[in-house]
Each structure stands twice: as C-alpha cells, then as structure tokens.
Amino acid sequence: MKEIKFLHIADLHLDSPFIGLSALPQPLFSAIQASTFQSLERIISLAIKETVDFVLIAGDIYDSEDQSVRAQARFLKEMKRLEDAGIKAFVIHGNHDFLDKHKEKLALPENVHVFPEKVEMVTMKTNRGVDVNLYGFSYDERHIRTSRVEEYIVQQPADFHIALLHGSELTSSEEHDVYAPFRVQDISKKGFDYWALGHIHKRQLLAESPSIYYPGNIQGRNRKEAGGKGASIVTLSEAKTVIDFVETSPIIWEEVIITLPENAEINTCFREITKQLETYQEKNASYFLHLIIETTNNQKIKTDDWLQMLQEQTNIDDSTFVWAHKISLQKKKQTSTTHWSEFHLAEKEIASAYQHLQAESAFYQAVESLHFESGVSRYLEDLSEQDRLILLERALIELGTTLAEVEGDE
C-alpha cells in the first residue's frame, strides 16, 4: 500500500511585532520576539528527524508584506537545512505576506517551490517512488474576495493529489469573506486527497474524508491564541489519513482558573496562587498566564497590587519563565446554571455541540442566516473571540433554563 509522510505548517508570522508587549522587561520581550524563529527551527529539526517526504507551508510566512531581511535570512537558513537533508518544501504566500514583485527578496534554495498568484500544479516523486501532485496559489494582494476553488482541478495521474489553500470558510459577511472564501462541501468534492489550509490560527479538522485541515499558527502571539502551537505530521495512505500534532512553541499563553474557598483570607489566596504558578515552573516551556480568580461576592482582591507582586517575584534570567501578565476576578459559577448539562441525558451531544461552536468558522456558519435578514444584519458587529465565547456560555445557560421549564424541573 502506497503511503507518504509530510509536515504541514502555516501562519509562521516571522518577525511579528507582538503589539502591546513592548512594555515587558527586556529579557521577556526579547524572548517573545525570538519565539517564532525558535519554533520554526524546532519544526525543521522535527521534519529532518522524522525524514518526511516534503514540507507544506500554507501561507503567512512573514507577519507583513514588508518582510525584514532578518526574517528572510532566518527562513532561508531553515530552508537550507531542509535542502541539506534532501527534503523539498512547497510554499504559498497569504494575506499577510502577499507577493510583491516590485520588492527584492533573498533567493531561496532550489528545494523550495513557491506557488505563483494563479493556481499551479507541480509534481514530485518521493524517495519510495510515490507520485504526488501538489496544487496552490499565493496571494498577490492583501484581500481576495472571490473564491478560487474552481481553479483547483485534479490533473494528470498521480498516487496522491494535495491542495494548499490560505483562506477561510464562507460566512456571507462582506467583512469576513475577504480571504479566498470557500465552502467545505465544495472543496470536498474536488477529488483531492488532502487540503492543507492556512489562515486560521486554531487547529481545526473541518472534514475527515478527505482531510481538510488547519494546523494553526506555530507560536501564540497574545492571550487569544492560547495553548500549545506547532506543526502537524501527516501520514497519508490509500486507506486513511493520520494527523499527529507536535508542540514546538517555546512560549505558551494560557488561562488558569484558581477557585478560592468562601471568605478566603490573604494567606490562602497567596498560597493557592503561588502553588498554581509552581506547577508551571516545573514544565519545560515558558508561559504567559492569565490568572482568573473565582471568588464569592464577599471577597475583594486588589488585582493590580497582586499582579505587580507576582511579576516582581518572577526570575526573568532563567532560560524558561512563568509570567503572570493579567489577573481577573470572576464570581464563582453555580453548578445549577452553568454545569447543568453534566447531569442531562443529552450530556455528550450538548458538550459536542458546545465544543464545535467554539471554532470561529463553525460559529459564523451557524449564524449565517442572520446576515440575510435586512432588519438584523445592519446591527451585527464584528465579534472578538471572547465575545463569541461569552455568547455561547449565555446560550448554554438559556438552553438549560428552557429545558428545565419544558421538562418540569425546578
């Protein structure tokens, strides 16, 4: 049975300015500035170690069209490492690093193929004699408002056909549909064995057969991009597709909920917070933590004072660090309103739907019909990730209230 193994990454955003973080202590800011480069270096080491057949990079290599020489040089260095290992790379440019033919760029080694602004097909044969056709295009401007799906046409025979696309699912919102919009049902029917997507920074498998997959970005850049980031190793055979995620980001953004007992005194607060930080200090990575302290109505904590204390105690000279970048207070949630689904017969179905709708593409697909209502659409605003999650939580509570009324529960 024929099989290929390749590495799929996207949204490297090399040389990201990390807006809003320049006030950090210099060692921390320097570390986060270097994080995208460090993650890429780890990814290329992974590709070489795993002896993949090739590497796919699905757009936004750089953070802006004004690609710094520093960022280009670091990317060139890593591509040369692939070349020395006999591994080819297939690259498309996205909305952040769209092609600008008027600007000079460092020449990439011969093992790197950059797709042009029109959909192109290239062929390759792996070391084990497997024929692969790869298809893709690069952005030539920041916004591409029309779908390019029709340009992806399976050509000449090959063992596997793989498409690279930097874009987002169609939402029927002019504001959102500016990045080569597509419908999953449309690209599923095109006859490709795998769709290597880029643009969305959260890992998402949109479909399984064929696999239509976002690997997410390689390094979180703010608290909205929480969790481990990295690369995906894809093993594609005639029978199945296996996607293995490998974390490579040196810095991880994470939310930590610390629940304090009722009427907790200052010593209890200090003990619980420091104990939580110590668990992260034992890990082999650096963390930016948003501490969310759950309290009762009777408790008051001066968050600015506590944050300053925690930051002053952070050892920023170590190779890894744990930095509390924000402290928030929230009232302790009542099981009867927010966790009601854990006791419902449809617990699994409700949890699955709630998790599914947390993805940006799934959320906007669910509310798509609202954009067609003239009396409603003009009042719809662009929602942040936090806004969407709050709406989902409120919807879950409302669903619980409604079901309780229908089922006659108190």
pLDDT in tens, 308-347: 999 999 888 778 899 999 999 887 765 545 566 766 777 7
pLDDT of residue 382: 64
User: pLDDT tier at 410 (50, 70, 90 boundaries)?
Assistant: very low
pLDDT of residue 405: 64
pLDDT, greater one: 332 or 170: 170
Q: What is the model's pTM?
A: 0.80
pLDDT in tens, 103-145: 888 999 999 999 999 999 999 999 999 999 999 999 999 999 9
User: pLDDT tier at 408 (50, 70, 90 boundaries)?
Assistant: low
Q: How far is CA 297 from the centre of its chain?
A: 36
Q: What's the rounded mean pLDDT across residues 374-384?
A: 60
Average pLDDT, the chain: 88
User: pLDDT tier at 305 (50, 70, 90 boundaries)?
Assistant: very high
